[in-house]
Structure 1
Amino acid sequence: MSKIVTFGEILLRLSTERHLRFSQAKYFAASYGGGEFNVAVSLANYGIPVEFVTRLPKNEIGACALKEMRKFNVESKNVIYGGDRLGIYYLETGAGTRGSNVIYDRENSSMATITKGEIDWKTVFKDVTWFHWSGITPAISESAALICLEALKVAHELGITISSDLNYRSKLWQYGKEPKEVMPELLKYSNIILGDIDTALFMLGKDNLNPNYQNEKSLPVLYDQLFTECPNLEIVATTLRYSVSASHQRIGGILYDGKTICSANIKEVTPVVDRVGSGDAFMGGLIYGLVNDSSNKQRALNIAVAACCLKHTISGDYNLITLAEIEKLLNGDSSGKVSR
């Protein structure tokens, strides 16, 4: 069976409860999360052997983060230690017409201060068939971007499938570099990219296109620009999200393999419990679908969209959904009836 490695930062998540604003909160609910780790949790839930590689502080909070990995059956044997603190993010969950708000506290975290050469990637990638990273890691710091590039070069050399989620976070790119100065060199190794066309072109230093995702005939020409810029690209996928309100989302998806466009029907998701991590749920579902049957890209996309929709019903960063629940939704059962 395929073994997958994801690489990034696990964060302490401090969130207000009952949709309170930061100014109203008397306490915060503590949990953990982070884009690449969320993908690892999804894959572990689906029975895929998965390992998360990160750098933790050697203190009690770092120990708690390590326990979190083990709790969800995510392998952690290549976690390294250093730095003084775990990254934090604060979440104010929106409702109705008020959107959610995230404040990052990640400066000088263990992952932000990681340096090239600290991880033996050839050891990490032994018996590994898939490597996943996201645009969040190179956004944290220049040193994190450099070690991400180091990992990608080794993975590519070893013939490992590489996937990336663009995950543009404007609040994180604060160390003097712009995405267009960093991301092109990283993305050229990716075989699968998740992200909308304009974000991809922005990261590659190109002009926006404002694509009409409803016009499937025009999409191949637009997507082909990404294939030109990223020579190893095989699949590009896009989560289609139409926000009616913070409590009501409409979710679909598009996938293009250089020849054929696949699209998934839009699903209504309301009420939304927590949309944080829903893109990671999409990525986890897509990877699972492609690992199990790379020839059936339509099914992989359908699984990704179903996983994304179901994540909106779960509080916290992780998509704690089973394959049976995904199949139920794919078969048209969205009734939410009690299972007895």
Structure 2
Amino acid sequence: MTKVVTFGEILMRMSPPNNLMYDQASSFDVTYGGGEFNVAASLVNYGIEADFITILPQNPIAECAINTIKNYGVGYKNILRKGNRIGIYFLENGIANRNSKVVYDRTNSSISQIKKGDIDWKLVFKDADWFHWSGITPALSKTAAEVCLEATETASKMGLTISTDLNYRSKLWNYGKHPKELIPKLLAYSNVILSDIDTARFMLGLEKIYPDYANDILIKENFEQLKKMLPNARTIAMTVRNCISASHYKIGGLLYKDNTLYRAKKHDVNPVLDRVGSGDAFMAGLLYGLVKFPDNLQKVVSFATGTCVLKHSIFGDINRVTKEEVLNFINTNGSAKVDR
């Protein structure tokens, strides 16, 4: 049985209800989530064991986050309790032609104070098969980037499969480092990478381009170039998003492995209830598919895309659909008929 370990920050999310703007709000809906935890929660929901590693302070708000982790059945025993605060982000959910807005309040959060040696990675990984991290964690602080490298090096030495969602958050890289100074060394250990070509090139220090994602030949050439820079990368995947408005997306997916490009069909997503966490849903679906049906990569990318599409209908960071619901979605071409 596969066991996955994810590492990152869980945040308190505060959103004005009913698509209100910040200056209209007299209250906020509070939930908890974060990229790497969202992946772990989805995997447990699909029947794969997952542990989440983070640092949280000893206070009642952090206990709320811990309770969320427990409620999703994600392992929490190796979470370190130190520091003074949990990270917070405010989300103004866009609608129609008004875009969503995020304000971060995570400076000096507990995980940004993490240091090498704080986590016993050999203990954490002793019965694990897979380690997952994202590009958000090394953006938090110099020491968080060092610990992320410490974790990936240990996971690699212990023979774990390593996956990365190469998220780029421009508002977080504030401690004097450019991603290209850190990400190439971190990515060198990764076997599965989720990233669009633009972001991957930027974070690896290459000239940014805007490829035509409908052109299979061009996309294969770009993925192959990335794989030559990252020889341990066996699989590269990405979501394909067309934003019609904040309430209307077209969502597809790509997967590249062994010189073959697999493409999932695009789905109309209209209306969008909550876009946040949809990339994490894709990542979890990708990981699940690679574990459960590795010989059917077309099904893998279709499953991952289906999880991403369905997440847009769910409030909060975390995808709550079951694997049966995802399979039904892709088998019925997303008909969304009433289940009677």
Same fold (TM > 0.5):
yes
1:13/1:30 contact within 8 Å kept: yes
Partner residue, 1:114: 114
TM-score, with structure 2 as normaliser: 0.98
Q: Name the amino acid aligned to 2:276.
A: V
Deviation string 1:69-105 (CA, Å, 9 cap, x unpaired) is 1100001111011110000000000000111001111
Please report how far the alpha carbon of residue 211 of structure 1 lies from its aligned counterpart in structure 2 after TM superposition.
1.4
Partner residue, 1:9: 9
- Matches of 2:234 and 2:295, distance apart in 1: 12
Partner residue, 2:191: 191
Partner residue, 2:162: 162
2:224/2:259 contact within 8 Å kept: no
Partner residue, 2:235: 235
Please report how far the alpha carbon of residue 335 of structure 1 lies from its aligned counterpart in structure 2 after TM superposition.
3.5
Q: 1:1-340 maps to which residues of 2 (within 5 A)?
A: 1-340=1-340
Question: Any idea what SS the aligned residue of 1:65 has?
Answer: helix
- Matches of 1:117 and 1:299, distance apart in 2: 40
Q: Name the amino acid aligned to 1:218.
A: L
Please report how far the alpha carbon of residue 336 of structure 1 lies from its aligned counterpart in structure 2 after TM superposition.
2.9
- Matches of 1:193 and 1:34, distance apart in 2: 18
Deviation string 1:108-142 (CA, Å, 9 cap, x unpaired) is 00111111110000000011111000000001111
Q: Name the amino acid aligned to 1:64.
A: C
- Matches of 1:79 and 1:185, distance apart in 2: 26
Q: Name the amino acid aligned to 1:328.
A: N
Percent identity over paired residues: 53
Aligned length: 340
Structure 1's unaligned 5+ residue stretches are none
- Matches of 2:337 and 2:300, distance apart in 1: 26
RMSD across aligned positions (CA): 0.9
Please report how far the alpha carbon of residue 334 of structure 1 lies from its aligned counterpart in structure 2 after TM superposition.
2.8
Q: Name the amino acid aligned to 1:283.
A: M
Question: Any idea what SS the aligned residue of 1:112 has?
Answer: helix
TM-score, with structure 1 as normaliser: 0.98
- Matches of 2:207 and 2:319, distance apart in 1: 34
1:220/1:258 contact within 8 Å kept: no
Please report how far the alpha carbon of residue 62 of structure 1 lies from its aligned counterpart in structure 2 after TM superposition.
1.3
1:216/1:261 contact within 8 Å kept: yes
- Matches of 2:27 and 2:188, distance apart in 1: 44
2:42/2:320 contact within 8 Å kept: yes
Please report how far the alpha carbon of residue 333 of structure 1 lies from its aligned counterpart in structure 2 after TM superposition.
5.0
- Matches of 1:225 and 1:339, distance apart in 2: 45
- Matches of 1:198 and 1:92, distance apart in 2: 26
- Matches of 1:27 and 1:216, distance apart in 2: 47
Please report how far the alpha carbon of residue 293 of structure 1 lies from its aligned counterpart in structure 2 after TM superposition.
2.0
2:329/2:336 contact within 8 Å kept: no
Please report how far the alpha carbon of residue 339 of structure 1 lies from its aligned counterpart in structure 2 after TM superposition.
2.6
Question: Any idea what SS the aligned residue of 1:111 has?
Answer: helix
Structure 2's unaligned 5+ residue stretches are none
